[in-house]
Amino acid sequence: MTDQPETAATTRRYFSTFQLILLALFAALVVVAKIALRLPLQLPGHSGIFWMTIVVVAAGVVHKPGAASLVGLTSGIIAGFLGLGDFGALNTFLSYTAVGVGADLTLWLLGGNAENLMIATLAATFGHMMKFLVKWGFGIVTGAPVGFVALGLLRALLGYVIFGALGGLLGALTLKALRRAGFFQYLAEKR
């Protein structure tokens, strides 16, 4: 037998396997929501109401900085492979990742409590805005023409802000409902 240091066994991982599975499920849910859930609205960014809810719930259930980023990153990989989005796989991957990173960063700066209505709303708004920023930035880099309607971009921006905020609000309310239902207590007992 050799005397190798057992560093691998003794190092504590940042996310447990259970948390990683939960985050992967949330990531898959983001993509499924994008494909399957439709609102009969002709407003840019309206799908944010679904996926920002999921991202905020993920950040609340796995209460660690980086959880939302991991959901964004994983959903970006899945969505990229499924060919979602108008601007190619790289744009899709980056915009989905930006959603998670933006929400995560805001949550971290505001104290990390995704159950707080104001914090969750702001985090989701920033996350969704990051998605818009990536899409818009790509447009500029690739030399896309300016908007056809003068105030069209502002309308799109407001759509992203409003639906992102609504998603965050729904996410925080979902987390509160989960707490009332004893979900977090159940998770703690499992641990």
Partner 1 sequence: MAQRTRVLIAVLALVILIGAIVGVEALRRSSSGQAEGASGEPTLAPGSIPIYVDGRLEGSFSPTDLEALEQVSFVDAEEGKTQEGWLLRDVLLLHVDQDQMQPEDTVVVTSGSRGKSAELTWAEVDDAANWVMFDLSGRSTLKLVSVLERLDVRDEWIQDVDRIEITSE
Site for partner 1, rule CB under 8 A: 38, 40, 42, 44-45, 83, 86-87, 106, 109-111, 118-119, 122, 125-126, 129, 132-133, 135-136, 139-140, 142-150, 152-157, 159, 161
Helical packing angle, 183-190 and 152-180, nearest 10°:
70
Task: Determine the residue type at 19.
Answer: Q
Are 69 and 100 a contacting pair, CB within 8 Å? yes
Q: How far is the CB of 106 from partner 1 (least distance, A)?
A: 6
- Complex with partner 1: residue 10 or 42, whichever CB lies closer: 42
- Complex with partner 1: residue 150 or 188, whichever CB lies closer: 150
- Complex with partner 1: residue 61 or 119, whichever CB lies closer: 119
Enumerate residues 6+ apart whose C-beta is below 8 A from 90: 80
- Complex with partner 1: residue 136 or 184, whichever CB lies closer: 136
Q: How far is the CB of 100 from partner 1 (least distance, A)?
A: 17
- Shortest CA distance to 106 belongs to which of 31, 18, 165? 165
* C-alpha 34, offset from chain centre: 12
